[in-house]
Structure 1
């Protein structure tokens, strides 16, 4: 029986793959190592494809089904309607580091800034919802056991310290929309111990994006999540 159905979502490059990989190492968890985007599909097709994930979890003898598609943060209400009892885990990350990382991936600083603002505005709107857990990537780096334990409790999973040894059993995420170079880089990153990715913006972020985050459109979100 599937007791927990959880979704890891939020802005890309905020640690969604990292926490999904950690949780996937739990013996009770079934997680497909790909971004399904299933709830962007026509409703009958979405339900059919999601039911296939549930059957796969059941056949694997797992009691929790988790799915990670960052863009599902834009479909939270739809998921709530179609998956009663769904729970959402939403990491946030300092906008300066996220935008720097997104820009390196996408090659478009303006689009990266817009994405961070739009996706994290949706995350902030969910603050206080009983079925949503929001945490900061930086807090996971500082105290991984405390944050992972909190997430496990939220998902009704037993916390096991060896979850933090997830990298000892390397996984391969399927990234059909990414270049082979990016896919290899991401898989190397998530198959190592939790690393401190804070502060990359000091080397990589453009002045215009920095100003938008600290003085302009992104400032309310940066303040709300405690980054400035």
Structure 2
């Protein structure tokens, strides 16, 4: 039986996750939409929507997803009324209402399997496993110095280079943790540099992990970019070109000498562990290193606060959490195989 497990692409911002999203979306069986903005906010406000076993509560959540100002639902090209109807008639769990968006998106392209991409999901793997217990995760790793250099140039990224370094370190640390804790068939890592240097070999290995046959169209994601990348995201213009290694190593000319020194001092062990060569830059200024540590500590504190708040919510969940849309999800829940018409009545 062919897999219908959800696929989540994660990684530090500017790691090439949009390129990988398009590669997966180019597969004839998989649909991966542009980034949405509803999954994480919906999860952390789930108590406000109540028990999803009640159709009216499913309607309220689905309506917020479809009509919310910041959810990006409109960029998916899905009929809002049809989605809300499908959510109301679908299984009574929080994850099912969320997952139905992606299921509808996949059906728009006539595909049986869906995925999702958002770099910051690396922080929320545990949450995503609660929603989609059969999920598979693909962590894309890129040289941290290139990520920092690229983030600095993004119009939507306001923090400084030290914050960007802390962001990359956090993504790497979470990736290492997930690699240790998750089953081998649930978490997979690959490097951006390897993917761009030899797309076919890397994508064949990735397809083996997700349980799909490799398709040559995956190596030419530019053909789908026109359709799948929103026009306003001008920072993704590279996705409209051929896959290339030209964007690797640009940090050498795009970072200031002090930024290279700090990056190699505070990120050096992580960079070396992933095969990135260090320059042997002079020792970094103590104040700048201290500034990085402050940023890293702020991120840890913010994560801990959110985690502790969510632990309280988990003590009194408003209703079932795990999705019941795939065969794996239903098996885990102890339910029988579900026919398509039970999920999406016509």
TM range (shorter): 0.7 to 0.9
- The whole-number CA distance in structure 1 between the counterparts of 2:270 and 2:147 is 13
- The whole-number CA distance in structure 1 between the counterparts of 2:38 and 2:122 is 11
Q: Return 5+ residue gaps in structure 1 as ranges.
A: none
Give the counterpart of 1:125 among 162, 177, 185: 177
8 Å CA contact 2:8–2:136 kept in 1: the answer is yes
SS in 2 for 1:41: helix
Q: Return 5+ residue gaps in structure 2 as ranges.
A: 50-60, 62-93, 278-346
* 1:155 counterpart residue number: 210
- The whole-number CA distance in structure 1 between the counterparts of 2:173 and 2:38 is 20
SS in 1 for 2:179: coil
Does structure 1 residue 26 correspond to structure 2 residue 27? yes
Does structure 1 residue 53 correspond to structure 2 residue 53? no
* 1:136 counterpart residue number: 191
8 Å CA contact 2:24–2:31 kept in 1: the answer is no
- The whole-number CA distance in structure 2 between the counterparts of 1:172 and 1:53 is 14
Could you list the structure 1 runs, at least 4 aligned residues long, displaced by more than 3 angstroms after superposition. 43-46, 58-61
- The whole-number CA distance in structure 2 between the counterparts of 1:200 and 1:35 is 29
8 Å CA contact 2:103–2:113 kept in 1: the answer is no
8 Å CA contact 2:197–2:244 kept in 1: the answer is no
Q: Which whole-Å deviations, capped at 9, do the CAs of 1:131-167 have from their partners, x for residues lacking one?
A: 1110000101221101111111111111012221232
8 Å CA contact 1:2–1:62 kept in 2: the answer is no
Give the counterpart of 1:219 among 228, 252, 268: 268
8 Å CA contact 2:102–2:115 kept in 1: the answer is no
Q: What's the offset of the Cα at 1:40?
A: 4.0
- TM-score when normalising by structure 1: 0.87
Does structure 1 residue 184 correspond to structure 2 residue 240? no
Q: Which whole-Å deviations, capped at 9, do the CAs of 1:68-119 have from their partners, x for residues lacking one?
A: 0111110001111210110001100011111110111125212211111112
- The whole-number CA distance in structure 1 between the counterparts of 2:108 and 2:240 is 26
How many corresponding residue pairs? 220
CA-atom RMSD in angstroms: 2.1
Max radius of gyration: which structure? 2
* 1:38 counterpart residue number: 39
